[in-house]
A and B are shown apart, each in its own frame.
Chain A
Amino acid sequence: MNKNIFIFDQNKCVGCHACVIACINENGFQSPEQWRNVHKSQDHHFPDLPLFYLSIACNHCDDAPCMKNCPALAYSRDKKTGAVIHYPEKCIGCKYCTWACPYDAPKYNPKSGIVEKCTFCNHRIEEELKPACADLCPVGALDFSNTVFTSEESKASTPVPVEVGSNIKINKRRNNSGPEIDLDIFENQQYHKKETKKYEKISAIKEWPLVIFTLLSAILVSLYASNRTELFQPNNKLFYLGLGAVSALLSMFHLGKKFRVWRSVLNQKSSWLSKEILSFALFFVGVLMDFFLIDIPNVIVVFLGVILLISIDMLYSLATWRWPIKIHSAQSVFIGITIYLILVNSIYLLAFILTFRLTIYIFRAFISSNTNLILPVLRILLPCIAFGVLLYQELILSILLLIIGEIIDRVQFYNELGVPDPKEEFHLTITKKS
Chain B
Amino acid sequence: MKKVHNTACPRNCYSTCSFKVWTEDGKVINIDPQPLNKATPEGICLKGLSYVERVNSPRRILYPLRKINGKFKQISWENALNEISEKLNHHKQKYGPQSILFYYASGMSGLLNSVSTNFWKMFGGATTVYGNLCWPAGLEATRLTLGENKHNVPWDLKNAKLILVWGKNPAESNIQQMIPIEKAQQKGAKLVFIDPRRTDSSERANLLVQPVPGTDGILALALAKILIEKDLIDRDFINKYVLGFDQFKESVLKININEASKECGVSIEFINKLANLVGTVKPMTLIPGYGMQRYTNGGQTTRCLLVLSIITGNIGKPGACWHYADLQGDIFSKIKEPLSYFPPEKPDGIFRREIATARLGEDMLRMNKPELKMAWVERGNPLSQNPDSNKIKEAFQKLDYSVVVEQFMTDTAREADIVLPAKTMFEQSDIISSYWNPYVQLRQKVIDPIGEVKPETEIYYLLAKKMGFSDSEIEKNIPSPSDESIENWLSEQIKPWPEISIEKLKEGPVLTPVLQEIAFSDFKFTTPSCKIELYSETAQEKWRVNPLPSYEKTAERKDTVENYPFNLMSPNTKNRIHSQFGNLESIKLVDPEPFATINLGDAEKKGIKEDDFIRVFNDRGELNIKVKIDASLRPGNIVIVNGYWHEEGACPNILSKGRETDMGHGTAFHDNMVDYEKIKN
Whether B49 and A45, one on each chain, are in contact in the complex, defined by CB atoms closer than 8 angstroms, is: no
B108 is an interface residue with CB less than 8 A from chain A:
no
Q: Which residues of B contact A16 (CB under 8 A)?
A: 45-46, 171-172, 175, 574
A45-B632 contact, Cβ under 8 Å, with A136-B44, A139-B42: yes
Q: Which residues of B contact A192 (CB under 8 A)?
A: 631
A401 is an interface residue with CB less than 8 A from chain B:
no
Of the stretches B122-130, B196-204, B563-571, the one at the interface is: B196-204
Q: Could you tell me the distance in whole angstroms from the C-beta of B173 to the nearest C-beta in chain A?
A: 11
Of A12, A174, A189, the contact of B599 (CB 8 Å cutoff): A189
Whether A45 and B198, one on each chain, are in contact in the complex, defined by CB atoms closer than 8 angstroms, is: yes
CA distance A53 to B175 in the complex (A): 15
Interface residues of B in 1-39 (CB under 8 A from A): 17, 30-33
Of B204, B206, B587, the contact of A11 (CB 8 Å cutoff): B204
Whether B635 and A186, one on each chain, are in contact in the complex, defined by CB atoms closer than 8 angstroms, is: yes
CA distance A139 to B177 in the complex (A): 9
B604 is an interface residue with CB less than 8 A from chain A:
yes
Chain B CB within 10 Å — which of A15, A25, A34, A138 has the most?
A: A138
Of B182, B198, B610, the contact of A139 (CB 8 Å cutoff): B182
CA distance A14 to B46 in the complex (A): 12
Whether B31 and A25, one on each chain, are in contact in the complex, defined by CB atoms closer than 8 angstroms, is: yes
Whether A180 and B589, one on each chain, are in contact in the complex, defined by CB atoms closer than 8 angstroms, is: no
B265 is an interface residue with CB less than 8 A from chain A:
yes
Of B193, B586, B632, B635, the contact of A46 (CB 8 Å cutoff): B632
Sorting the interface of chain A by its residue count into under 10, 10 to 19, 20 to 34 or 35 or more gives 35 or more
A210 is an interface residue with CB less than 8 A from chain B:
no
Q: Could you tell me the distance in whole angstroms from the C-beta of B323 to the nearest C-beta in chain A?
A: 18
Whether A140 and B52, one on each chain, are in contact in the complex, defined by CB atoms closer than 8 angstroms, is: no
Please give me the residue from chain B that is nearest to A31 by CB atom. B589
CA distance A178 to B631 in the complex (A): 13
CA distance A185 to B637 in the complex (A): 12
B600 is an interface residue with CB less than 8 A from chain A:
yes
Of B33, B202, B270, B585, the contact of A135 (CB 8 Å cutoff): B33
Q: Could you tell me the distance in whole angstroms from the C-beta of A178 to the nearest C-beta in chain B?
A: 6
Whether A185 and B43, one on each chain, are in contact in the complex, defined by CB atoms closer than 8 angstroms, is: no
Q: Could you tell me the distance in whole angstroms from the C-beta of B215 to the nearest C-beta in chain A?
A: 14
CA distance A381 to B42 in the complex (A): 64
A180-B43 contact, Cβ under 8 Å, with A25-B52, A29-B585, A139-B178: no
Whether A51 and B203, one on each chain, are in contact in the complex, defined by CB atoms closer than 8 angstroms, is: yes
A200 is an interface residue with CB less than 8 A from chain B:
no
Interface residues of B in 48-89 (CB under 8 A from A): 49-50, 52
Whether B205 and A189, one on each chain, are in contact in the complex, defined by CB atoms closer than 8 angstroms, is: no
Please give me the residue from chain B that is nearest to A192 by CB atom. B631
In this complex, how many residues of chain B approach chain A with their Cβ under 8 Å: the count is 61
Whether B635 and A179, one on each chain, are in contact in the complex, defined by CB atoms closer than 8 angstroms, is: no
A361 is an interface residue with CB less than 8 A from chain B:
no
Of A22, A34, A180, the contact of B49 (CB 8 Å cutoff): A22
Q: Could you tell me the distance in whole angstroms from the C-beta of B629 to the nearest C-beta in chain A?
A: 5
A179-B600 contact, Cβ under 8 Å, with A137-B43, A138-B40: no
Q: Which residues of B contact A184 (CB under 8 A)?
A: 267
Interface residues of A in 9-52 (CB under 8 A from B): 11-12, 14-18, 20-22, 24-26, 29-31, 34, 44-47, 50-52
B502 is an interface residue with CB less than 8 A from chain A:
no
Whether A45 and B630, one on each chain, are in contact in the complex, defined by CB atoms closer than 8 angstroms, is: yes
A47-B178 contact, Cβ under 8 Å, with A15-B200, A135-B33, A138-B45: no
Whether B210 and A138, one on each chain, are in contact in the complex, defined by CB atoms closer than 8 angstroms, is: no
A24-B270 contact, Cβ under 8 Å, with A46-B632, A139-B182, A179-B198: no
Please give me the residue from chain A that is nearest to B604 by CB atom. A189
A190 is an interface residue with CB less than 8 A from chain B:
yes
Whether A180 and B42, one on each chain, are in contact in the complex, defined by CB atoms closer than 8 angstroms, is: no
**Interface SS of A by simple majority:** loop
B634 is an interface residue with CB less than 8 A from chain A:
yes
CA distance A104 to B202 in the complex (A): 29
**Interface SS of B by simple majority:** mixed
Please give me the residue from chain A that is nearest to B182 by CB atom. A12
Whether B200 and A139, one on each chain, are in contact in the complex, defined by CB atoms closer than 8 angstroms, is: no
A1 is an interface residue with CB less than 8 A from chain B:
no
Please give me the residue from chain A that is nearest to B22 by CB atom. A25
CA distance A78 to B186 in the complex (A): 37
Chain B CB within 10 Å — which of A16, A51, A53, A192 has the most?
A: A16
A188 is an interface residue with CB less than 8 A from chain B:
yes
Q: Could you tell me the distance in whole angstroms from the C-beta of A124 to the nearest C-beta in chain B?
A: 11
Interface residues of A in 364-407 (CB under 8 A from B): none
A182 is an interface residue with CB less than 8 A from chain B:
yes
A181 is an interface residue with CB less than 8 A from chain B:
yes
Q: Which residues of B contact A18 (CB under 8 A)?
A: 43-46, 49, 175
CA distance A85 to B604 in the complex (A): 48
Interface residues of B in 563-612 (CB under 8 A from A): 574, 585-587, 589-590, 599-602, 604-605, 610
Whether A45 and B631, one on each chain, are in contact in the complex, defined by CB atoms closer than 8 angstroms, is: yes
CA distance A139 to B44 in the complex (A): 9
Whether B178 and A12, one on each chain, are in contact in the complex, defined by CB atoms closer than 8 angstroms, is: yes
Q: Which residues of B contact A24 (CB under 8 A)?
A: 586, 589
Please give me the residue from chain B that is nearest to A178 by CB atom. B203
Q: Could you tell me the distance in whole angstroms from the C-beta of A61 to the nearest C-beta in chain B?
A: 26
Whether A44 and B631, one on each chain, are in contact in the complex, defined by CB atoms closer than 8 angstroms, is: yes
Q: Which residues of A contact B32 (CB under 8 A)?
A: 135-136
Of B176, B210, B599, the contact of A181 (CB 8 Å cutoff): B210
Please give me the residue from chain B that is nearest to A47 by CB atom. B632
Please give me the residue from chain B that is nearest to A143 by CB atom. B42
B208 is an interface residue with CB less than 8 A from chain A:
yes
CA distance A260 to B23 in the complex (A): 39
CA distance A184 to B269 in the complex (A): 11
Whether A179 and B202, one on each chain, are in contact in the complex, defined by CB atoms closer than 8 angstroms, is: yes
Q: Which residues of B contact A178 (CB under 8 A)?
A: 198, 203, 208
Interface residues of A in 123-139 (CB under 8 A from B): 135-139
Interface residues of B in 165-185 (CB under 8 A from A): 171-172, 175-176, 178-179, 182, 185
Whether B198 and A135, one on each chain, are in contact in the complex, defined by CB atoms closer than 8 angstroms, is: no
Whether B631 and A189, one on each chain, are in contact in the complex, defined by CB atoms closer than 8 angstroms, is: yes
Please give me the residue from chain B that is nearest to A188 by CB atom. B601
Q: Which residues of A contact B500 (CB under 8 A)?
A: none
Q: Which residues of B contact A26 (CB under 8 A)?
A: 30
CA distance A34 to B207 in the complex (A): 35
CA distance A136 to B31 in the complex (A): 9
CA distance A53 to B574 in the complex (A): 15
CA distance A12 to B171 in the complex (A): 10
Q: Which residues of A contact B632 (CB under 8 A)?
A: 45-47, 51, 181, 186
Q: Could you tell me the distance in whole angstroms from the C-beta of A79 to the nearest C-beta in chain B?
A: 27
A20-B589 contact, Cβ under 8 Å, with A138-B175, A139-B175: yes
Q: Could you tell me the distance in whole angstroms from the C-beta of B139 to the nearest C-beta in chain A?
A: 26
Q: Which residues of B contact A12 (CB under 8 A)?
A: 178, 182
Whether B586 and A189, one on each chain, are in contact in the complex, defined by CB atoms closer than 8 angstroms, is: no
CA distance A320 to B246 in the complex (A): 73
Q: Could you tell me the distance in whole angstroms from the C-beta of B196 to the nearest C-beta in chain A?
A: 10
Given contacts A182-B266, A189-B635, 15 further A-B contacts (CB under 8 A): A14-B172, A14-B201, A16-B175, A21-B49, A34-B589, A44-B610, A51-B200, A136-B33, A139-B175, A178-B198, A180-B207, A182-B267, A186-B632, A189-B604, A192-B631
Query: Can you give 18 contacting A-B residue pairs, CB < 8 Å?
Result: A14-B201, A16-B45, A17-B590, A21-B586, A24-B589, A31-B589, A45-B630, A47-B631, A136-B44, A178-B203, A179-B203, A179-B205, A185-B634, A186-B599, A186-B631, A189-B599, A189-B600, A189-B635
For the complex of A and B, the 10 pairs showing the least CB-CB separation, nearest first, are A189-B601, A188-B601, A14-B171, A179-B208, A179-B205, A21-B49, A136-B43, A18-B46, A189-B600, A45-B632
